[in-house]
Amino acid sequence: MKAALLCTFPLLLAIATAAQTLPGTAGETLSGKRIVVAQTVQGHTAILVAAFSHDAGQHCEHWMHAIQRDPVLAGVPAYQLVELEKAPTLFRGALRNLMRKNVDPAEHDHFIILTQDEKLWRAYFNVNAEQDPYVVLLDGTGKVQWIGHGSARELEPKLRAAAH
């Protein structure tokens, strides 16, 4: 019975997320460009890796590296989203500068900082484990093809299979 529930849960989660549309929130890339994720990924397959806490942010880097190294996923545009709405406004600039310093400049256009609509984004990703990074594979119509949260080491093969 447990095995059946464990197998069914990811499918139910994907169905719940697929019914939602990407929030139309504007964010800013580390290169300073204003960007609306929903518009940026429209019309092509894309991967979103999202963090809703400092702990999750540290694990997003592992996901981005796994995606870039995987021959099936490397050609799929991947965007890292960091939600900072809860961070005090006074510290957001310092956090942005720290991220800019620690992220490869070649990736700055794919690293998006969001400072509003956190509830919408949490609902979209169905966040229930704040310490985990959340990953979504979207097709060209914006439909969720795969969703997961947790370790890249454990879940990246499932993302690859969904993308193939």
Residue 111 lies in domain:
2-163
Q: Looking at residue 8, what is its pLDDT?
A: 47
**pLDDT at residue 20, as a whole number:** 72
- Per-residue pLDDT tens over the stretch 76-116: 999 999 999 988 888 898 899 989 999 999 999 999 999 99
Number of CB atoms found within 10 A of residue 73's CB: 20
Place of tokens 């795969």: 146
Give 8-33 pLDDT, tens digit per residue.
445 444 444 444 789 999 999 999 99
Task: Write the CATH number for 54.
Answer: 3.40.30.10
Alpha carbon dihedral 59, 64, 68, 70, in 10-degree steps, equals 50
81 φψ region: left (φ > 0), alpha (ψ -120 to 50), beta (else):
beta
User: What's the order of all strands across the beta sheet hosting 26-29?
Assistant: 34-36, 26-29, 111-114, 78-83, 46-51, 134-138, 144-149
Contacts of 118 (CB under 8 A, 6+ apart): 52, 83, 85, 86
pLDDT at 131 over 60: yes
pLDDT at 7 over 60: no
Give strand ranges (E) for the chain.
26-29, 34-36, 46-51, 78-83, 111-114, 134-138, 144-149
The structural domain count of the chain equals 1
Q: What is the mean pLDDT of the chain?
A: 88
Nearest Cα neighbor of 110 from 14, 38, 30 is 30
The 3-state DSSP composition of the chain as helix, strand, coil percent (nearest 5) reads 45, 20, 30
| Res. 1 pLDDT band, cuts 50 70 90 | low
